[in-house]
Amino acid sequence: MKERKKPENNKKIEKKKLVIVILSILIGVNICALATIIVYNRFHRSNSTSVIVPDNIISGDDNPDSTATPDTVNTTTPFISQDPITVTEQPRYADLLVLYKHQNADNTPFSVSNMFPGDSVTKYYCLRFTFRHTVTLCFRADIQRGNNELADAVGIRIVFPGTGHVLYDGLMKDMPESLTHAFTSSSVTTEDVFYEVSVYLDTSVGNECMDQEVVANFKWWIEEVENLEPSPQTGDDSKAGVWAIVLFTAFYLFIIYTLKSREEKKNEQQNG
C-alpha cells in the first residue's frame, strides 16, 4: 500500500508545484501592472489634459448656492492690446489643472520668443476644484528667464472668457503678487474656472525684441486649504485597487501552497 501511495503523493506534490509556479507568474504580472498604473498616474496623467472652453461661462449658475467675488481690475498701465477680437466657431481648448486638499497649488510653464510689435499669443486654462464654504483662487505669472528688452516690454492680459471680466491688463513684470477670485458655497461644490491668458507686445515697442525669448511660470493656488475636498477618485485609481486585491489574493495563496507543500514533503521524508 505504501508503494501505491508514493506515486499518488508525488503527483500531488507536482500539482502543487505547478500551482506555485502559476501563482508566482501571476504575482509577477500583478506587480508589473500595479507599478505601471502607479507610474502612469504619477507622471503621465498630468496637466496636459484639456477641456473645451464653453461659449458662455457664468460662474456659479450650475450651483445656485455658489457665488463668486472678483477682484478689482488693474487699469493703471497704458499697455492695452490693440488687436481686434475675432470670433471663430472652432472649439477652444483649455489645459486642465486640478487643485485639491493635498495639492492646493499647480503651475505650468509658458514661453514666447521672436515677437514683433502687435503680436499676441493666447492660451486657455481651466482650474477645477471641489470645495465647501469659501475659497480664494489666486493667480500669478512669474518671469523665469528673460533679462532682455522683451521681458521688460511684454504685456499680459488675463480675462474670464464668457463673462469678459478682466483680471489684469499690463506689463507682466509689473503684475501684483496675486490676482484673486473668491468663491463661496454652503454645500460641496465643484467649480471649473476658465482663464484666457494673452501675452502680447504693444505696437509702440520697437523691433529690438526680435530673436529674444521670455520664459514664464503661470501659477494658481488656493489659500483656504482646509475648505478643499480630497483628490477625486478616477477610473485609473479604481483599476489600481483591483490589481492590488488580485495581487494580495495571489500572494496569500502562494504562501499557503508553499507552506503546505513543505509540510507534506517533510511528512513524506519522515514516513519514508
Place of cell 507682466: 172
Measured between alpha carbons, how far apart are the two ends of the chain, in Å? 13
Model pTM? Answer: 0.61
User: 63, 90, 46, 21: which is closest to 188 by C-alpha?
Assistant: 63
Q: What is the pLDDT tens value at each position of the chain, 272 positions in all?
A: 444 555 666 666 677 777 777 877 877 777 887 777 776 665 554 444 888 888 755 444 344 344 555 443 443 333 444 444 454 567 889 999 999 988 999 999 999 888 888 999 999 999 999 999 999 999 999 988 766 788 889 999 999 987 899 999 999 999 999 999 999 999 999 999 999 999 999 988 877 777 788 899 999 999 999 999 987 654 445 666 676 777 777 777 777 777 777 777 777 666 65
**Measured between alpha carbons, how far is 247 from 256 in angstroms, rounded to an integer?**
14
Nearest 5°: the CA angle 28, 30, 35 is 100
Enclosing H/E stretch for 218: strand 213-222
